[in-house]
Structure 1
Amino acid sequence: MNKEMPQDDWAPRSEAVLDDQIASYDEMRRRCPVAHSEYLHWSLFRHEDVVRALHDHHTFSNAASSHPSVPNGMDPPQHTLYRQLIEPYFSAERMAAFEPVCRDIAVKLVDGLPAAGEVELMAAFAEEFALQAQSAFLGWPAELNEPLRRWTRKNHAATLARDRNAMEEVAFEFDGYIRALLAQRRAAGDGTPSDITACLLRERVADRLLNDEEIISILRNWTVGELSTMSASVGILMHYLAARPALQQQLREQPSLLPVAIDEILRIHAPLIANRRITTREVEIGGRRLAAGERVTLIWASANRDEAVFGDPDDFRLDRDPSKNLLYGAGIHVCPGAPLARMELRVILEELLQRGCRLQLVPGKEPVNAVYPASGFAALPLRIERE
């Protein structure tokens, strides 16, 4: 007997939703907080429901991908083994060692901005920072930046279209880049550099070395997450400050406020729209009954704006309880790369603000919103004025 499919409550790929994702998710949270669609299956919009799914990994499994995903697509105990392996790569010691490299990248990009005038910040600055910082962190050559930029865009397009063949091709293309890097490091023998990519070749799990498929999956997860969300975050932050000169000046004068201000701005406008889960058993959530095996989409961009937790979702406050902010998730799958992302965002804003750049909106030129699975802006015209 075929399972009866629920009627769709909304259309995630409709023009109205993609035109303004944040406003659309706000409306869904109030109207239908647990909603079904053919494209995203079941979507959770409320903070309470998303937090419940995050902490109940026995019911809401992370093994939602048809491809191996280390460790994002795993549940305990398998997840625990790999998580313990990767967490040291984001330790305070590694962040302190990488910060000068990251700052050098930021300084060069800020100094490369025009002394005065209009610039499209996404391609010329935000995407470039994400690419350069990620390549430097992983020990990848600069010549890989442009292929990675094209790959990220193809990955977004394939995900939006839910084109399985295109998604397979994109994954295969990325795998090729990484296999070549691994082969180079193996061929170098004792001369292998001590970068993160080389270090992964020496990592062991369950008394054996990681195999290439596991290393590729780890690096793919880091790269997909880092490139898209980092460039989106930089764009969101720059637009937010350009629209609020007083806040921009306050952070210029009080840079110690940057970490909490960055997290709050990215709560208001999420750089990552959603993650997936799959139910392992029948469950009732938000007044809807989901069967075992249902695919679930956790809408971060809505949960972090829930009025029941944050009041007016657009109210910028520096005194919020940080434990409520789901910017980097929660539970056993909380983002291991959060220390890296926080450091990179702090550094890029420190250099922008302290090196005399005043960000201004361009009258008559609106930014172009990015569309699912991306967030932030596809194009961001801003005016730069130097002090």
Structure 2
Amino acid sequence: MATDVREACGSGQQINKCPADWDPRSPEIQRDQIGAYDRMRETCPVAYSAYLGWSLFRHEDVLRVLGEHETFSNVVSRHPSVPNGMDPPEHTPHRRMIEPYFAPEYIAAFEPAFRRIARELVEHLRANPSCDVIRDFAEPYAVRIQCGFLGWPQSLHVPLLEWIYRNRAATLARDTEAMATVALEFDGHIRAQLAMREGGGAAGVDDFTTCLLRQTVDGKRLNHAEIVSILRNWTVGELGTIAACVGIILHFLAGRPDIQDRLHRDRGALPQAIDEILRLHGPLISNRRVATRAVTIGGRTLEAGDRITVMWASANRDGSVFADSEEFHLRRDQSQNLLYGAGIHICPGAELARMQLNIVFDELLEGLEPFSLLPGAEPVRAVYPASGFSSLFLTPA
């Protein structure tokens, strides 16, 4: 963290973009992202860096950005992003188009398949207790349930897992050329699924992917670029986020045998516990916005076109909103939890994700003996833009 943070920000003095307030990629920040963001929230809640633009760490500032879409635009990429990267009025019909796919009655039909996948992986974990639970449990679970939801074949499980590893390596190396290549590779998987369906290879299949090929917005059929964008959002984002969630919750429960025992005895408390654990350690670190006009926020002046990063992982630990914000409280009011966002861009798949997580931890608590962290195997923390852990080993308690 920059040594001038308190001088630049703590005094309330308005500072322009130079010098940077902090370096989000510094080793100090990456060693413990959550703790570093807590410090930034207290010392420099609106901070500038060349890498992220303006980062917002306080709950009230993040909530303001989420609510004022006329001032803080979601159109942050030159590539299509449907509907995440759209503003009203374009956003409205596209959002309305995807919402039926996440209706309770639609996602409920996937519960048996998700539970079967979770049970199989728990059996694998029981047979291989010394395995890395991120690589051998969390990531396979994310890939298999997402393929099941989208209607993609089992033959994609291994290629998608290998894609996750290559994408992570390229991101960690900050290799923009490799990242672009990996992104194109993923789009290739999606286009192959579309081509198979259009060629009759999925005749009679009525899955998410096939339905998108027939989908219209305002009477106009979606084009391939729009469909690829939707499917990319619901695979790339979900694969990383669901796997991160599983790792974060496992790590927490391994260190809290009291909570583990409570949830083993009372599965009905799982949904509340999961939301609270993920409030403490957000699986999604941040999202981007761009200012459409000059605006003052947190005492800093942003100009039209300035990049903004809303720091979910910090906002959800803001002590002005959450009493004892660094402590786990099972019965905490979660109405201000921004785990799934807020406003018009709130995650449409929130209930799907909650179901997926509730199922896998229900099966874990049913199928595993009490567990703890493996002594001598230090968990490896993920680094920005990822969250959670890239490696985690458990052992029977």
Structure 2-normalised TM-score?
0.93
Whether 1:188 aligns to 2:200 is: yes
Cα 1:216–1:364, aligned 2, differ >3 Å: closer, same or farther? Answer: same
Residue number among 110, 120, 123 corresponding to 2:132 in the alignment: 120
Q: Aligned equivalents of 1:250 and 1:367: distance in 2?
A: 24
Whether 1:129 aligns to 2:141 is: yes
Whether 1:344 aligns to 2:356 is: yes
Cα 1:78–1:155, aligned 2, differ >3 Å: closer, same or farther? Answer: farther
Partner amino acid, structure 1, of 2:149: F
Residue number among 332, 341, 365 corresponding to 1:353 in the alignment: 365
Aligned to 2:5: none
Say how many residue pairs are matched.
382
Residue number among 331, 337, 342 corresponding to 2:343 in the alignment: 331
Aligned to 2:74: 62
- Does the residue aligned with 1:357 lie in a helix, a strand or coil? coil
Whether 1:19 aligns to 2:31 is: yes
Partner amino acid, structure 2, of 1:235: G
Deviation at 1:384, TM superposition (A): 3.6
Q: Aligned equivalents of 2:351 and 2:161: distance in 1?
A: 23
Aligned to 2:388: 376
Q: Aligned equivalents of 2:119 and 2:71: distance in 1?
A: 46
Partner amino acid, structure 2, of 1:341: A
Q: Aligned equivalents of 2:261 and 2:347: distance in 1?
A: 31
Partner amino acid, structure 2, of 1:18: Q
Residue number among 43, 56, 63 corresponding to 1:51 in the alignment: 63
Partner amino acid, structure 1, of 2:266: Q
Q: Aligned equivalents of 2:237 and 2:297: distance in 1?
A: 28
**1:200-219 matched pairs, under 5 angstroms:** 200-219=212-231
Aligned to 1:305: 317
Whether 1:276 aligns to 2:276 is: no
Whether 1:295 aligns to 2:317 is: no
Aligned to 2:6: none
Deviation at 1:172, TM superposition (A): 1.6
Residue number among 234, 240, 260 corresponding to 2:246 in the alignment: 234
Deviation at 1:164, TM superposition (A): 4.3
Partner amino acid, structure 2, of 1:316: F
**1:2-151 matched pairs, under 5 angstroms:** 5-115=17-127, 117-151=129-163
Deviation at 1:119, TM superposition (A): 2.5
Cα 1:101–1:145, aligned 2, differ >3 Å: closer, same or farther? Answer: same
Deviation at 1:216, TM superposition (A): 0.3
Q: Is the 8 A contact 1:192 1:198 kept in 2?
A: no
Q: Aligned equivalents of 1:175 and 1:351: distance in 2?
A: 33
- Does the residue aligned with 1:308 lie in a helix, a strand or coil? coil
Choose 349-358 or 165-174, whichever is displaced more.
165-174
Q: Aligned equivalents of 1:189 and 1:133: distance in 2?
A: 22
**How big is each residue's C-alpha offset from its partner over 1:297-338, in whole Å with a ceiling of 9 and x where there is no partner?**
000010000111113322111232222100000000001111
Partner amino acid, structure 1, of 2:61: D
Aligned to 1:260: 272
Cα 1:261–1:45, aligned 2, differ >3 Å: closer, same or farther? Answer: same
Q: Aligned equivalents of 1:294 and 1:163: distance in 2?
A: 24
Q: Is the 8 A contact 1:114 1:384 kept in 2?
A: no
Aligned to 1:175: 187
- Does the residue aligned with 1:354 lie in a helix, a strand or coil? helix
Aligned-CA RMSD value:
1.6
Structure 1: 5+ residue stretches without partners: none
Cα 1:46–1:190, aligned 2, differ >3 Å: closer, same or farther? Answer: closer
Choose 94-103 or 108-117, whichever is displaced more.
108-117
Q: Aligned equivalents of 2:100 and 2:195: distance in 1?
A: 24
**How big is each residue's C-alpha offset from its partner over 1:111-164, in whole Å with a ceiling of 9 and x where there is no partner?**
111357433110010001001110111111112122222323444454566654
Choose 253-262 or 313-322, whichever is displaced more.
313-322
Q: Is the 8 A contact 1:186 1:192 kept in 2?
A: no
Structure 1-normalised TM-score?
0.95
Q: Aligned equivalents of 2:204 and 2:176: distance in 1?
A: 37
Q: Is the 8 A contact 1:119 1:384 kept in 2?
A: no
Q: Aligned equivalents of 1:19 and 1:112: distance in 2?
A: 31
